[in-house]
Amino acid sequence: MAAPETLAPIGVSVHAARLDYAGLPLFDDLDFEMAPGLWTCVLGASGVGKTSLLRLIAGLTDPWKGSRIACSDDAPLAGRAAYMAQQDLLLPWLTVRQNVMLGPRLRRETGRDRRVARALELLAMVGLSDKADALPATLSGGQRQRAALARTLMEDRPIVLMDEPFSALDAVTRHHIQGLAANVLRDRSVLLVTHDPMEALRLGHRIHVMAGRPATLDEPLLPAGTPPRDMTDTALLRLHGELMQRLAAAGDA
C-alpha cells in the first residue's frame, strides 16, 4: 500500500511559552523544539502540562502574550498540522469511512473518488476494512482509536500532534499500530505525548520528561537506531531503565 506523499520536513519551535491554569502557570518562559522529520516524545505525570503544550502548538489554546510558535521554513503553522486527541471524537451519525474523510469533506476538497480510495486504503492499513460502513457505536474502544488514527493519516500533514493515540489498544494491536504509524509517518515531524516509556523509546528520536510547576523539559534522551525499534534490544532496555529513573526523579521534584 502506498505511503502518503513525501513532504519536506518542517521543524517547530516554541519560545517563551506561558500558559496558566486556575490562576497558576502550568509553564512559564518554556522553550521547546520539534526537530524536522523526527518523532519528539514528551512524558510526565498527569496534569503536568503535556497535553496543554500539545494543544498550544496545535493552536487550540491561546498563548500568553510574548509566546512565539514558529516553523523552520518561516511559513505559518496553521493548516499544516494534524491533531489526534486522547478521545477518538468520531461523529456517531457518520460511518467509519465518512469519519475518516471528514476533514476533506469539511474543506470541500475535490477528487472524491481518490479520497474514497485513500480512506479505504488507510482503513485496510489499520485493520478496519470490514468496518468501513459501520457506525462508531458498533466498534470497540480499540477499533474506534484505530479509526481515529486513519482519520489523522488521511489529513496527510507534514506536522502531526498525537496525544496518547494508542492508549485504548490491547498490547498486540498497540504494537502493530505503533509500527504502522512509525512507517507511514516517516519523515513527518511528530509530537507524541505518552505515559508509556517503552512506547516513547520504540518510536521517539528525541524523548523529554516534563516536570515541575511551572513545568520544564529536561535534556532529550536520544535513542539510537530507526523507529520502530525492537523492544527486546538490550540497549533499548538499558535506556528504559534510565528513562524510568528520570521519571522517578521528576515525580520526586
pLDDT, one tens digit per residue, over 100-149 is: 999 999 998 888 899 999 999 999 999 999 999 999 999 998 899 899 99
Q: Of 129, 156, 183, which residue constitutes the final position of a domain?
A: 156
Q: 147 and 33 in one domain?
A: no
Q: 224 and 183 in one domain?
A: yes
Q: Of 156, 187, 212, which residue constitutes the final position of a domain?
A: 156
Query: What confidence tier does 7 reach under pLDDT thresholds 50, 70, 90?
Result: low
Q: 68 and 93 in one domain?
A: no
Query: What confidence tier does 6 reach under pLDDT thresholds 50, 70, 90?
Result: low
Quote the pLDDT of residue 62: 76
Per mean pLDDT, which of 91-95, 175-179, 228-232 is the most reliable? 91-95
Q: Residue 239's domain is classified under what CATH number? A: 3.40.50.300
Query: What confidence tier does 59 reach under pLDDT thresholds 50, 70, 90?
Result: confident
Quote the pLDDT of residue 4: 44
Q: Taking residues 189-199, what's their average pLDDT?
A: 96
Q: 194 is written with which cell numbers? A: 505518552
- Residue 161: inside a domain: no
Q: 69 and 23 in one domain?
A: yes
User: What is the value of pTM for the model shown?
Assistant: 0.90
Q: 180 and 238 in one domain?
A: yes
- Residue 162: inside a domain: no
Q: What mean pLDDT value characterizes the chain? A: 90
Quote the pLDDT of residue 2: 42
**Residue 77 pLDDT > 50:** yes
Q: What percent of the chain has pLDDT over 90?
A: 68
- Residue 119: inside a domain: yes
Q: Of 156, 185, 214, which residue constitutes the final position of a domain?
A: 156
Residue 164: partners with Cβ closer than 8 Å, 6 or more residues away: 86, 193, 194, 195
H-helix segments, the chain: 50-58, 96-100, 102-106, 112-125, 141-155, 171-184, 197-203, 234-252
State the residue range of the domain holding 30.
1-80+171-253
Domain count, the chain: 2
Residues in the chain: 253
- Residue 166: inside a domain: no
How far apart CA 145 and CA 134 sit, in angstroms, is 14
- Residue 164: inside a domain: no
